[in-house]
Amino acid sequence: MDENPLRLNEVRLLLLIQARRLMRQLFDGVAFMHERNIVHRDLKLENILCIDDERIVISDFGFAKELEDGERLRDLCGTPGYLAPETLRCQMYEDSDGYSFEVDEWALGVIMYTLLAGYAPFYHRRQLMMMRMIQEGKYEFRKEQWANVTTEAKELISDLLRVEASKRLSASECLKHPWMGGLQPPAAEVVEQKKVAKEVKPKRDLRKLFKQAIIWVRFFLRLAKYKYIKSVVDRDALRKRPFRDRDIRHEAEAAMFSIYGHWVNRGYYYSRDMLFANKPRPKYYKRDPDASVTSLASLTSNASTVSHSSG
């Protein structure tokens, strides 16, 4: 056995021949456990290890339990996406009958659905809605993913994902299902898939293809004219705000510097806005304290002479 076996959830989408081979081993292993009164209660893709391309083993028996004859369980354990409806009912209703080996068959139905479709049958971003889908057994076979899957495989999944546990197929009964009856050679499997694909051939939406073609043509035309986009200018927009265009702004500033550059005070009061002013900013000089005193004295002497002359 490899030291790091591949988990089955790491395998994306399997061919029908591979899915049938893996499901046969799972049905056989679960039937072996149930014959010995052992219920796993946590069957999921993460707990199925791939030894190689042909063999798998079931792991993680932490929630497994050996049941007595007629014993029913009521405790909640397992992974939400793989829980059976009767397991959820035990947590909602006190008078629930409990659950038994049938929860493993439900999980096998979820695993088989995921292997063939590539996605889980019960999933919602809100866990409460997902639980409601499980209780109602609400799932669907979408045409895109299930067009090449045989009707027998869909019937087997439907028999496993029955809400009523008493009507659900057991693992030993699944081994006798027509879909499991004998492995076909790979060539025959390919021929079968081609026949199904011919019978269910998806229609092409010509209108959608035409719209996509128009979008691509427009894109390539704009890409071809990209070098001319810079020369296309809206005259009305330039009249209102000419300096939004970078080239015009640079040319105007260069012309203003060449004409009015001598007006700009490049000292403390330097401002780029002075280029566009009608007159230069006045220059400020520091006053001499002695000069201010003498001027004040002269003003007082002049005022006294004016008063004497008037008197």
Place of tokens 């909602």: 92
Is 236 tagged catalytic?
no
Measured between alpha carbons, how far is 142 from 144 in angstroms, rounded to an integer?
6
Contact assessment for residue 145 and residue 118, using Cβ atoms and an 8 Å cutoff = yes
Catalytic option among 28, 42, 95, 290: 42
Beta bridge mates, 158: none
Q: Is the dihedral of CA 92, 98, 100, 105 positive or negative?
A: negative
Q: C-alpha distances in angstroms, 105 versus 39, 133, 173? A: 10, 18, 10
**Total H helices, total E strands in the chain:** 12, 5
Q: Which residues lie closer than 8 Å to 117 by C-beta, 6 or more apart?
A: 13, 141, 142, 145, 146
Task: Compute φ and ψ for 267, nearest 5 degrees.
Answer: -90, -130
Residues known to be catalytic: 42
